[in-house]
Amino acid sequence: MFKKTEETKVLRDVIHGYIHVEYQVIWDLINAKEFQRLRRISQLGGVHQVYHNAEHSRFTHSLGVYEIVRRMVYEIKDIHDRLSEEEKVIVMIAGLLHDVGHLPFSHAFQNICPVEHEQFSRDIILMDSDIHCILQNISTHLAKQVADIIDYKHENEILNQIVSGQLDADRMDYLLRDAYFSGTSYGKFDIERILRTIRVRENKIVVKESGMHSVEDYIMARYHMYWQVYYHPVARSFEHILFMIFKRMKEIYPDESYFYNLDMFTPFLEEKQSVRDHFMLDEHASYYGFGVLTRKNDQILKELALCILDRRLFKYDAYSEANETQIREQLIREGKDPEYYMIVDTMSKSPYSPYDGHNIYILTQQGEVKELSTISIIVSSLLGGKIKEDKKIYYYK
Of the listed pieces 21-29, 111-119, 140-148, 281-289, which binds its own copies according to CB under 8 A?
Answer: 281-289
Minimal distance, residue 106 CB to its own copies, in Å? 18
290-293 long-range Cβ contacts below 8 angstroms, 24+ apart: 290/245, 292/261, 292/262, 293/245, 293/262
Of the listed pieces 135-143, 168-176, 188-196, 320-328, which binds its own copies according to CB under 8 A?
Answer: 188-196
Minimal distance, residue 372 CB to its own copies, in Å? 14
- Radius of gyration over every alpha carbon of the chain, rounded to an integer in angstroms: 22
Nearer to its own copies by C-beta: 56 or 117? 56
Please count the residues of the chain. 397
Q: Which of 5, 13, 74, 111 binds its own copies (CB under 8 A)?
A: 13
DSSP class of residue 22? Answer: E
Binding mask 283-312 for its own copies (x = CB under 8 A): xxxxxx--x-----------------xxx-
Q: Which of 181, 268, 316, 340 binds its own copies (CB under 8 A)?
A: 181
Q: Which of 21, 29, 47, 63 binds its own copies (CB under 8 A)?
A: 63
Q: 225: Cβ–Cβ under 8 A, 6 or more apart, which residues?
A: 175, 178, 179, 184, 186, 187
Separation CA 65–CA 60 (nearest Å): 9
Separation CA 25–CA 22 (nearest Å): 9
Of the listed pieces 152-160, 221-229, 243-251, 354-362, which binds its own copies according to CB under 8 A?
Answer: 221-229
> Does position 217 bind its own copies by CB under 8 A?
yes
Minimal distance, residue 228 CB to its own copies, in Å? 6
> Does position 183 bind its own copies by CB under 8 A?
yes
Instruction: Give me the DSSP letters along 64-119.
Output: HHHHHHHHHHHH-HHHHHHS-HHHHHHHHHHHHHTTTTPPTTHHHHHTTS---HHH
Q: Which of 180, 253, 258, 319 binds its own copies (CB under 8 A)?
A: 180
- Give 21's strand partners: 9
Closest C-alpha to 374, from 193, 226, 217, 212: 212
Minimal distance, residue 130 CB to its own copies, in Å? 8
